[in-house]
Chain A
Amino acid sequence: AQKVTQAQTEISVVEKEDVTLDCVYETRDTTYYLFWYKQPPSGELVFLIRRNSFDEQNEISGRYSWNFQKSTSSFNFTITASQVVDSAVYFCALIPYSGGSNYKLTFGKGTLLTVNP
């Protein structure tokens, strides 16, 4: 069974601060995929990134960056110079590689990020 833990329930920062959202996962599978999704108040889950378990390169996309460390089973997400529009609930999720038979994403409980002006 898979498990994703997002220990930070809520984070509040002031605009332009950097903020890191933590994600720790558990799986017995050797190959798996990790995701981050953003859920604004409208409710739709917006895809941000997907990482393979065999690719530990960190990734940067604009103000967003992701730190994947297999040794500690963590996949943390950093927003640099946060903006009010970044306010949302952020979810980390995992799915084992299955060759096409498994489409069940396992989500953490999410972290509510509030960026104050």
Chain B
Amino acid sequence: DAGVTQSPTHLIKTRGQQVTLRCSPKSGHDTVSWYQQALGQGPQFIFQYYEEEERQRGNFPDRFSGHQFPNYSSELNVNALLLGDSALYLCASTRRGLGSDTQYFGPGTRLTVL
């Protein structure tokens, strides 16, 4: 049973560029959430996707956008990259239910902005 997968593992970009990160949820899961984890901090919620729509959003600017595909996989897009966007980006998946179901995380994509 495959867990949550993310690609790429590492990414280096320069300020002002755009980046796309990808996530495939755990088998049987239909809800995907994205988190940003800065060095030495806990993960911060970016947004959540279900049925190909953004359902919930954290305190992140519009430069952060996403998409969910019919197969439940998801993309996170960040435009006009800033140095402060350097972080580990984690994808989590769960089965839609009570909202309290356990979220399972992928290995993350480490983004470095120079």
Is the beta-carbon distance between B88 and A43 smaller than 8 angstroms?
Answer: yes
Tell me which of A57-65, A68-76, A96-104 binds B: A96-104
Is the beta-carbon distance between B107 and A103 smaller than 8 angstroms?
Answer: no
> Please, which residues of chain A bring their CB within 8 A of the CB of B70?
none
CB-based nearest A residue for B103: A105
> Please, which residues of chain B bring their CB within 8 A of the CB of A104?
33, 45, 48, 56, 58
Is the beta-carbon distance between A97 and B42 smaller than 8 angstroms?
Answer: no
A4, A33, A45, A47: the one contacting B90 at CB < 8 Å is A45
In the assembled complex, the Cα of A105 lies from the Cα of B56 at a distance in Å of 12
B40, B44, B98, B104: the one contacting A98 at CB < 8 Å is B98
Distance in Å: Cβ of B69 to nearest Cβ of chain A? 18
In the assembled complex, the Cα of A56 lies from the Cα of B110 at a distance in Å of 37
> Please, which residues of chain B bring their CB within 8 A of the CB of A44?
105-108
Is the beta-carbon distance between B98 and A99 smaller than 8 angstroms?
Answer: yes
Is the beta-carbon distance between B103 and A98 smaller than 8 angstroms?
Answer: no
> Please, which residues of chain B bring their CB within 8 A of the CB of A46?
105
The answer, yes or no, to whether B31 is at the interface (CB within 8 Å) is yes
B45, B55, B108: the one contacting A105 at CB < 8 Å is B45
In the assembled complex, the Cα of A72 lies from the Cα of B104 at a distance in Å of 28
Is the beta-carbon distance between A35 and B105 smaller than 8 angstroms?
Answer: no
CB-based nearest A residue for B100: A33
> Please, which residues of chain B bring their CB within 8 A of the CB of A95?
99-100
In the assembled complex, the Cα of A103 lies from the Cα of B106 at a distance in Å of 16
Contact with A along B70-99 (1 / 0, CB 8 A): 000000000000000000101010101111
22 A-B pairs whose Cβ atoms sit less than 8 Å apart in the complex:
A35-B102, A44-B108, A45-B43, A45-B90, A45-B92, A47-B105, A50-B100, A95-B100, A97-B100, A98-B100, A100-B98, A101-B56, A102-B99, A103-B31, A103-B56, A103-B99, A105-B43, A105-B92, A108-B42, A110-B40, A110-B41, A110-B42
Binding site for B on A (CB under 8 A): 4, 32-33, 35, 37, 42-47, 50, 52, 91, 93, 95, 97-110
